[in-house]
Amino acid sequence: MPLFAYRCDECDGRFEVLVRPNRTPEPTTCKLCGAEAIHKVPTAFALAHSELDAIRALDPMYKRMVEDQMAKTPEAEPMRHLAKMTPFDVVDDPGDPIDF
């Protein structure tokens, strides 16, 4: 399905329309301001640009966001509590030994 790009002469906005042959009429008005002064402009991705392509394009950024959030969860570093503990030989009064 071809993707057409249009530019509005009124607001200078640009928008794209996925045109299904014989099913989708080509737009006659600007999607942004409603003016009827639009013209088709060449698009570099007129062929084979699908929703899946758009998702793939987002994927590296999305994956990074997920990894950043996962790194902040307690499960990300199970031994993190050891870093917060104070060693016995550093403490002034470690207290009485625990008698098991």
Q: Which chain residues interact with Zn ion by CB under 5 A?
A: 8, 10-11, 13, 30, 32-33, 35
Backbone phi and psi for residue 71, each to the nearest 5 degrees, phi listed first: -65, -20
Backbone phi and psi for residue 96, each to the nearest 5 degrees, phi listed first: -70, 145
* Choice between 34 and 94, CB closer to Zn ion: 34
Nearest distance in Å: CB 30, Zn ion: 3
Nearest distance in Å: CB 25, Zn ion: 18
* Choice between 13 and 27, CB closer to Zn ion: 13
At 58, list the tokens: 């987002």
* Number of neighbouring beta carbons within 10 Å of residue 29: 14
* Choice between 9 and 53, CB closer to Zn ion: 9
